[in-house]
């Protein structure tokens, strides 16, 4: 895999992926009255205690019961460490929260489904790459080792997540990335640049990115051998969802043969579209956050 000159891509980036400045932890504490103990444990560089709006789950979620940090399963791509910190609106970390993430690989396909790819012929039925679960530690932190996600028609670059606080408190959201960095990778690095289609959606014209607000844009840092994408996820523990997805031992098992076949409820894009349009939602969860 060609080595990415990541500093070239970073020339166009602001402090955060959304282009905004980050409020310091000291400034946040002064403005909100949060204690020094609460803010001291927060991630450096990320927007502090941002409450993220709930957005569509999309058609590619299933729960394969994979508690693991490395979710790549050997698939190629630019190494990426995803670090999330789960907190409440008062900046208190939420220990033990279950965090699921899932996303497409460097070619734009998800594991577990058929009829994907630029030509609609890719079938990943029974596979589980780029999916995993972690439980937040005493600082509310989880980390995943993965690869930088690619794109598919109708959506900008993103990673999906679900935060489970209880059976009824569930936040479904997405993580977004700087377009400048994504474009550099997609044009210059294999297998991202082996695609036969042209990317059609950026952060600026992705409706889900707009719904998610600035709070859903990751803080990106260049490390020696990988990128770090860090984000604080604010959840309201008092919010209630109308339906729960099983916790712990109640988690549904992966069906025999995986979650193959077309996306549920016809939520996928047209044949050859390489994925969903991002407008369908097969869950009936109400927001588990304060807007």
Tens digits of residue pLDDT in 76-120 = 999 999 999 999 878 888 999 999 999 999 999 999 999 999 999
What CATH code is carried by the domain that includes residue 170? 2.60.130.10
Core vs surface per residue 41-72: b (16+ CB within 10 A) or e: bbbebbbbbbbbbbbbbbbbbbbbeeeeeebb
Does the structure show a pLDDT above 90 at 8? no
What percentage of the chain exceeds 70 in pLDDT?
Answer: 64
**Cα 47 from Cα 250, distance rounded (Å):** 34
Q: What is the model's pLDDT at position 168?
A: 77
Q: What is the model's pLDDT at position 7?
A: 52
Does the structure show a pLDDT above 70 at 215? yes
Higher per-residue pLDDT: 69 or 33: 69
Residue 162 maps to a domain: yes
Average pLDDT, the chain: 73
What percentage of the chain exceeds 90 in pLDDT?
Answer: 45
Domain containing 230: what range? 6-48+77-204+214-240+252-266
Total tally of structural domains belonging to the chain: 1
Q: What is the model's pLDDT at position 32?
A: 40
Does the structure show a pLDDT above 70 at 14? no
Residue 262 maps to a domain: yes
Residue 98 maps to a domain: yes
Each residue's pLDDT tens digit, 116-158: 999 999 999 999 999 999 999 999 999 999 999 999 999 999 9
Does the structure show a pLDDT above 50 at 261? no
Residue 92 maps to a domain: yes
Does the structure show a pLDDT above 80 at 267? no
Mean pLDDT of 41-45: 57
Q: What is the model's pLDDT at position 117?
A: 92
Mean pLDDT of 180-206: 93
Does the structure show a pLDDT above 90 at 270? no
Does the structure show a pLDDT above 70 at 70? yes
Number of neighbouring beta carbons within 10 Å of residue 119: 11
Q: What is the model's pLDDT at position 239?
A: 66
| Assessment of whether the complete model's pTM goes beyond 0.75 | no
249 Cβ contact list (under 8 Å, min separation 6): none
Q: What is the model's pLDDT at position 35?
A: 44
Chain centre distance of CA 112:
17
Residue 209 maps to a domain: no
Residue 198 maps to a domain: yes
Q: What is the model's pLDDT at position 179?
A: 94
Higher per-residue pLDDT: 99 or 258: 99
For every residue of 69-108, DSSP letters joined together read SB--TT--S-EEEEEEEEE-TTS-B-TT-EEEEE---TTS
Q: What is the model's pLDDT at position 175?
A: 94
Residue 84 maps to a domain: yes
Contact 133, 66 (CB under 8 A): yes
Q: Look up residue 234 and give its two tokens.
A: 């604010």
Helix/strand number for the chain, H first, E second: 5, 8
Residue 286 maps to a domain: no
């Amino acid at each position: 895999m060609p080595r990415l000159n990541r500093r070239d891509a970073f020339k166009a980036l602001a402090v955060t992926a959304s282009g905004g400045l980050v409020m310091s932890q000291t400034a946040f504490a002064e403005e909100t009255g949060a204690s020094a103990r609460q803010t001291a444990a927060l991630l450096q560089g990320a927007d502090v205690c941002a409450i993220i709006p709930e957005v569509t789950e999309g058609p590619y979620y299933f729960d394969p019961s994979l508690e693991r940090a490395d979710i790549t399963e050997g698939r190629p791509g630019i190494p990426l460490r995803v670090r999330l910190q789960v907190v409440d609106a008062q900046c208190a970390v939420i220990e033990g929260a279950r965090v699921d993430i899932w996303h497409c690989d460097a070619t734009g396909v998800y594991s577990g489904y058929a009829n994907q790819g630029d030509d609609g012929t890719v079938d990943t039925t029974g596979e589980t790459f780029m999916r995993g679960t972690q439980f937040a530690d005493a600082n509310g932190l989880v980390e995943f080792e993965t690869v930088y996600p690619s794109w598919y028609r109708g959506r900008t670059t993103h990673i999906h997540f679900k935060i489970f606080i209880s059976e009824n408190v569930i936040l479904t959201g997405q993580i977004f990335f700087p377009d400048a960095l994504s474009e550099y990778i997609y044009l210059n690095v294999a297998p991202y640049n082996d695609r036969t289609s042209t990317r059609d959606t950026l952060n600026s014209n992705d409706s889900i990115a707009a719904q998610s607000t600035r709070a859903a844009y990751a803080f990106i840092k260049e490390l020696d051998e990988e990128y770090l994408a860090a984000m604080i996820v604010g959840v309201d523990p008092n919010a209630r969802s109308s339906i729960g997805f099983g916790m712990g031992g109640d988690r549904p098992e992966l069906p025999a043969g995986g979650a193959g076949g077309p996306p549920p409820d016809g939520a996928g894009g047209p044949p050859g579209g390489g994925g969903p349009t991002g407008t369908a939602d097969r869950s009936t969860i109400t927001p588990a956050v304060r807007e």
